Amino acid sequence: MHKERMTPKLPPHNWPTIEPGWVWLCGAGPGDPGLLTLHALNALGQADVVVYDALVQEAILDWAPQAEHIYAGKRGGKPSPQQRDISLRLIELARAGKRVLRLKGGDPFVFGRGGEEAQTLIQHEIPVRIIPGISAGIGGLAYAGIPVTHRDVNQSVTFVTGHDQSGNTPSSLDWAAIAKGSQVIVIYMGMKHIGQISAALIAAGRPMSEPVAVVTTATTAEQQVLETTLGSIEADITNAKLEPPAIICVGRAVLMRQVLDWQSQAAGAPPRNLDPLGRDDGTAASA
């Protein structure tokens, strides 16, 4: 099979060209290759080198058969390359006149250090283009049938990271304030410290019975979804042997999965509950 044939054709448009010496910092979406943007696809077709992270599905690299693929993530328990080393590598490649595509999971500017990388490049006078991507905290939840906002549930949503640079629960986060102020909380990198996080939210007044969903390897064939409550989440994650990467969603938006779990429905399961929030205004079709 010719790999070239696997590159989908882009519709006619004034597509930008990666010039030699440029770095395009690009989101790859949460996993499913179909969630790439057209700008990402356009970039994959032109790059001389693709520098990609652990969360980027390898299938996506098939769309850059002409490029050298450089892995810049954690694998096999080895420590991840230092951020500084990755940035320096990008600078080196750009200075060598390569068309560099830096591909990161989800959106490059959402908990992905894309801002740091772009800043370092610009400080070294390397021209950059930023291509946003679908972040796991939005697209991953959508694949699980959870709308990140829903009119009857929340008028705001808070995205938080479950650990900081030191690997601890971020001390800069005021969990009590988040508990009080955020109707729906979407936690990235929260698996390791979920016991501490859920305890902090409960201590600040969130009910033990509050719905929570854990979505692992969202949008891929291995996607798993656990529906639980704030009081049971830690034990349930252990019992279900769930592993990162996972998005954890806290709040009543999770209940909407009872009607919106479109993947199970596509596989033949009926919706569990057509009106999980009990707000039926009579417009729902009667059986």
Where on the chain is the footprint of ligand SAH (CB under 6 A)? 30-31, 55, 104-107, 110-112, 135-136, 140, 188-189, 215-219, 244-247
CB of residue 125 vs ligand SAH: minimum separation in angstroms?
26
> Which residue has its beta carbon closest to ligand SAH?
106
Length of the chain, in residues = 287
The number of angstroms, rounded, from the C-alpha of 237 to the middle of its chain's C-alpha atoms is 19
Give the up-direction half-sphere exposure of residue 149: CA atoms within 13 A in the CB hemisphere.
8
Looking only at Cα atoms, what is the longest distance across the chain?
Answer: 66
* Between 29 and 98, CB nearer to ligand SAH: 29
CB nearer ligand SAH, residue 41 or residue 225: 225
Cβ closest to ligand SAH, residue 98 vs residue 117? 117
Active-site residue 189, yes or no? yes
CB of 198 to ligand SAH, least distance (A): 15
Annotated catalytic residue within 189, 191, 256, 261: 189
CB of 189 to ligand SAH, least distance (A): 4
| Catalytic-role residue among 3, 6, 74, 208 | 74
In the sheet that 23-27 helps form, which strands lie side by side, from edge to edge?
68-71, 49-52, 100-104, 23-27, 128-131
**β-bridge pairing 157-161 and 184-188:** parallel
Helices (H), the chain: 38-44, 58-61, 83-95, 114-123, 141-143, 175-181, 194-203, 233-239, 257-260, 262-266
Q: Is 191 one of the catalytic residues?
A: no
Which residues make Cβ contacts (< 8 Å) with residue 55, sequence separation at least 6? 28, 30, 31, 73, 104, 105, 106, 245
**136 or 255, CB closer to ligand SAH?**
136
Shortest CB 137 distance to ligand SAH, Å: 6
Query: To the nearest whole angstrom, how small is the minimum distance from the Cβ of residue 270 to ligand SAH?
Result: 26
DSSP 8-state assignment for residue 151 = T
- Sequence-distant (≥ 6) Cβ neighbours of residue 207 within 8 angstroms: 230
d(CA 76, CA 185): 31
Give the residue with the Cβ less far from ligand SAH, 99 or 193: 193
From CA 88, how far away is CA 91, in angstroms rounded?
5
The verdict on whether 107 is a catalytic residue reads no
Nearer to ligand SAH, 230 or 246 (CB): 246
Shortest distance, CB of residue 277 to ligand SAH, whole angstroms? 25
E-strand stretches of 91-171: 100-104, 128-131, 157-161
Tell me which residues are annotated as active site.
53, 74, 189
